[in-house]
């Protein structure tokens, strides 16, 4: 599954500014189906979108949440299956070897990390 990105990880699409104090931007899933679509946002802006932490009690920001309830679980169940597929693992290893630069991969719904 190829993930489409709405913006680059050099700025936050929610508030329009760049990363502060070396923090990494989160990848927020705007939708999971028919194709995964993510946007990069500050962790704080991410909390605001989902109405978490200090935004708890507010409404989640629907403009940036296009997926239906249950899509997230469905998506990660599919991914788990895909990761166990020998063909997929083979392609991935080959791809990682080919790329001299670290590639961005997603660890979970909330954070992006560099994969060496």
CB of 31 to Zn ion, least distance (A): 11
Name the burial class of residue 40, with classes exposed (0-12), middle (13-18) and buried (19+) by CB atoms within 10 angstroms of its CB: buried
- Identity of the residue, 92 or 106, whose beta carbon is nearer to Zn ion in the bound complex: 106
Site residues (CB under 5 A) for Zn ion, limited to 13-42 = 14-15, 28, 42
* 3-state SS string for 13-37: CCCCCCCCCCCCCEEEEEECCCCCE
Q: Reduced to 3 states, what is the DSSP secondary structure of residue 106? A: strand
CB of 16 to Zn ion, least distance (A): 7
Q: Reduced to 3 states, what is the DSSP secondary structure of residue 1? A: coil
Q: Is 9 in the site for Zn ion (CB under 5 A)?
A: no
- Identity of the residue, 19 or 92, whose beta carbon is nearer to Zn ion in the bound complex: 19
CB of 50 to Zn ion, least distance (A): 6
Residues forming contacts to Zn ion in the complex (CB under 5 A) are: 12, 14-15, 28, 42, 45
């Amino acid at each position: 599954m190829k993930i489409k990105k709405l913006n680059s990880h050099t700025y936050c699409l929610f508030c329009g500014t760049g990363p502060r104090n070396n923090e990494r931007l989160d990848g927020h899933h705007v939708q999971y189906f028919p194709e995964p679509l993510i946007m990069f946002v500050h962790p704080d802006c991410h909390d605001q979108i989902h109405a978490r932490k200090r935004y708890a009690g507010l409404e989640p920001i629907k403009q940036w949440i296009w997926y239906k309830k249950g899509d997230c679980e469905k998506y990660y169940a599919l991914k788990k299956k895909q990761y166990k597929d020998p063909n997929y693992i083979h392609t991935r290893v080959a791809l990682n070897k080919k790329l001299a630069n670290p590639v961005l991969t997603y660890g979970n719904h909330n954070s992006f990390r560099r994969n060496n």
